[in-house]
Structure 1
Amino acid sequence: MGTIARNGDLYPLGLGFKQWTSFPTPCKEDIWNLGKFEIDSKGRKWVLSSIGKKWKDYKSDLKAMYYDPVTPDEGMRNCPNKVPSDQWQILVAFWNSDEGKVLSLNYID
């Protein structure tokens, strides 16, 4: 499930999807229909929820490893190899935005 969550073609890291709940149901349905799960349909909600959590954690890990809020312009140039540059630019722009900063504060333990 983690591999699926980190796949930027299936679940873009930016492009208007700031939170898992922003993903349209058809996108989530496409993932379920990949046929990679040998799980009864009763487990669908759990699988998709788990992928959503892994997607959020992946973005958090990327931010912790590659983004420096003190020098956000440097963060734009510090794109990890495994992340499409267009998605990275959207992520960094969001992390620099007031909305992104407020959302990040809400996730601090």
Structure 2
Amino acid sequence: MESDSASDHDEDSKQRGPTTKTKANKVKLVITYNKKRCPATKLSTFEGLVARTMVPITYDSWLKVSEGVREGLWQYVLFVVDPKSRKQILQSIGKKWRNFKHYLYAKFIKNRSKDPKANLFKPPKDYPFIKKEDWKVFVSHRVTKKWEEKSMKAKNTRAHHKYNHRLSKKGYDGLINDIMQETGKTEEEINRTVLWKKARELKIGGYDADVKTIVDKIVSFINSQIYKKNNICPVLFF
């Protein structure tokens, strides 16, 4: 197994440290699956390492990554996983690869492209596994007008997403595990509305205005159902 000294990138990631690689451990780790056949979160960290170190950043998109490279990624996963998870795991690696490229652009190119003194074509020293020629191709592509227009279009599209979750790399599966540990409930006992609310809760508590509107409707509906069922005064039970 390989170790990763930092967490995976997400769209809202502020910073990260360098990735380090150690010798592979020949002892395979067993990955557990929840009722939805999703692997445990410890696989996610390994997927992030694989995405950053084994997939060249010169590909324009994940769709253009060759089948040979994808198969190599699958064979490199050192965990005992369900063979049926191949598509799911490769999709997860692809997402982490895209997030990594976004981070590289935002951190080392976007805010420095207008600085005449900035040496954009020098690879970040924190990521020695990035080849100099690959970095030059990556930078050359990102400083074009065509890329800026594409990036702005994607940004405008994301701006219309009102109910984005804030779960970072752990996702819903990690959230379910947290709730199970905190409450002692089984996965089947956790209501989907609880997951929806928890996933969009701000770190400082509360919700964004758009999310708060939906949360209030959820609370109102749940309380009305409790009132009808038990014929009691409707108060906030949720």
TM-score by length of 2: 0.41
Q: 1:19/1:70 Cα in 2 relative to 1: closer, same or farther (>3 Å)?
A: same
Aligned to 1:61: 103
Identity %: 26
User: For 2:118, which of 48, 53, 74 is the aligned residue?
Assistant: 74
Aligned to 1:91: 138
Amino acid at match of 2:65: F
Aligned to 2:153: 106
Correspondence list, 1:43-62, <5 A: 43-62=85-104
Runs of 4+ in structure 1 displaced over 4 angstroms?
A: none
Aligned to 1:6: 52
Amino acid at match of 2:148: K
Alpha-carbon distance in structure 2 between the residues aligned to 1:88 and 1:49: 24
Query: Quick check: which has more Rg, 1 or 2?
Result: 2
Q: 1:92/1:20 Cα in 2 relative to 1: closer, same or farther (>3 Å)?
A: same
User: Relative CO higher for 1 or 2, CA cutoff 8 Å, sep ≥ 6?
Assistant: 1
Q: Tell me if the contact between 2:113 and 2:120 (Cα under 8 Å) persists in the aligned partners.
A: no
Q: 1:73/1:85 Cα in 2 relative to 1: closer, same or farther (>3 Å)?
A: farther
Q: 1:29/1:72 Cα in 2 relative to 1: closer, same or farther (>3 Å)?
A: farther
Q: Tell me if the contact between 1:20 and 1:52 (Cα under 8 Å) persists in the aligned partners.
A: yes
Q: Tell me if the contact between 2:121 and 2:135 (Cα under 8 Å) persists in the aligned partners.
A: no
- How many positions carry a matched residue from both structures? 105
Post-superposition Cα deviations, 1:12-54, rounded to whole Å, max 9, x if no partner, equal: 111xx11111101111011101142321111111100000000
Amino acid at match of 2:75: N
Pairwise CA distance, 1:86: 1.4
* Higher helix content, 1 or 2: 1
Q: Tell me if the contact between 1:94 and 1:100 (Cα under 8 Å) persists in the aligned partners.
A: yes
TM-score by length of 1: 0.83
Q: Please, which runs of 5 or more residues in structure 1 have no aligned partner?
A: none
Q: Please, which runs of 5 or more residues in structure 2 have no aligned partner?
A: 1-46, 159-238
